[in-house]
Structures are given as C-alpha cells and as structure tokens.
Amino acid sequence: MTAADGPPIVLVHGTRFSAGQWSPQLASLQQDFPVAAVDLPGHGTRSAQPWSLDAASEVIAAAVDSLDRGPALVVGHSLGGYAALEFARRRPELLRGLVLAGASVSTTGAWAIPYRWVAGLVPRIPADRLTRWNDRLLRRLYPPEVVGATIRAGYAFHTLPAAWGEVLGRFEADAMRHVDAPVLILNGEKDTVFRSGEREFARAHGRARIELIPRARHLANFDDPGAFTDAVRRFALHLPVRG
C-alpha cells in the first residue's frame, strides 16, 4: 500500500490537553494522509461543552466523517485512548485501525485510588497556578516547536474530575474484545504505569501488537516526535482496506 491509498487518521489528545498536543504529528502525517486532530468535550475549542464518553465518541465520529474517506485510523493518547476504545465499541463501522498510546492499563481496582484523589484535589487549586506549573514543566522538558501549540491552547483542568471520574473503574483489558480492527499498542518505554497492562490488552485482542518508543515516558509523542510519528505511519500503511 502507498500513502495515497492509506487511511484517514484522527488524533485524540490526552488529559487536560487539546488538539494542539498533536502539532508535531500533524505537520508530518498530513503530507501523506488526510488527518484531523480533535478537541474532546470540555477541552480546547469545546471547553464549554460538558464531558462524557458518549459525547467524546460522537466528536471522534464527526471527525472521521469530516475527512470523507471512509473508516479511519484513530490514534488516542491516555484519556484519548480510552475515549477511542469507547468509540471503537460504539461505532465499529467507522474504525479501520486503532493506536492506543499510554492507555494500556486497567482503570479499575486499587490502581485507580491515587488518580481519584488527584481528580478530587485539582478543583481546589487555582487554575492559573496549575497553568503556570504545566507551562513551566513543558518548557523545561521539551523544545518550543514540540509543545508551543499545547501551551498556547491552554489546559482543561475544569474537565479533569468529570473525565477521570467516568473513565476510572470502567476499562479493563476485556474492552479490547470490542475492537473490530487491528490495534497497535504504542507506549513509551519508561511509561511504567500506563504500559503496565499492555500484555493483557494485547492478549485480549487477536490482531494487536506492542511497540515501544525507546527512552520515552508517558508523553511519548513529545519525547520522540519522529519515532512516534513513524510508528503511526508504518501501522497506517499496513492496515487492510475496509469498506
């Protein structure tokens, strides 16, 4: 398959971010594929919309339809990965392939306890302070061309409690059985928490494989944009055609 025959690609961001998270990937992938990066409900341009997985699935579906090229490869990071799993269950006819990045750990059981605590703590901290902390962290870790768009778009701290509240306790490896398309589980090598269930997630699906970005952490698409993009491109070019 050539790039001209490749699938449309929809990119779904992680917690508190927006479509700007994907600026490094958009610049490269859009040379070869029809690509769209979405803002999930409660994030970015949809900041005023209430969060729900149902609404998130519809946002992804609308992005697939907007590209007008049939079923799409959906790439979801962290929160966006779990939203993509829900989309795969609800709208299988629109899915040609799935990339789960930093979203291959069960959100049930004791693992979720500290995250529930953080979700309850966030509303108690002023948003401007959280913004300064996040801006400072991203600028210290990454060059401006990688995180500039994310910083300019701002952060959806107000949505975090609702988003995590719905995702926590909902997803286990068994969710992979509802995905009727090939799956790439794409994790940062050092993302020890969010890749801890990757083998169980892969075993739960007949057409899933695992690929690691060397030395990358949870934000693997920031840590090594080129390697992340190349992994998505290779996977896209080997997807079977769907009607």
Q: Is the pLDDT of residue 58 over 70?
A: yes
Bridge-based pairing of strands 208-213 and 95-101 is: unpaired
Q: What is the pLDDT of residue 2?
A: 56
Average pLDDT over residues 53-58: 98
Q: What is the pLDDT of residue 150?
A: 98
**CA distances, 78 to each of 47, 100, 127 (Å):** 18, 8, 21
Q: What is the pLDDT of residue 241?
A: 82
Residue 206: pLDDT band (50, 70, 90) is confident
Residue whose C-alpha is closest to residue 101's, from 235, 203, 4: 235
Q: What is the pLDDT of residue 110?
A: 83
Q: What is the pTM of this model?
A: 0.96
Q: What digits encode the pLDDT tens for the residues 16-47?
A: 999 999 999 999 999 999 999 999 999 999 99
> Can you tell me the distance from the alpha carbon of 177 to that of 234, in angstroms, rounded to the nearest whole number?
23
44: left (phi over 0), alpha (psi -120 to 50) or beta: left
- Helix (H) or strand (E) holding 75, with range, is strand 72-77
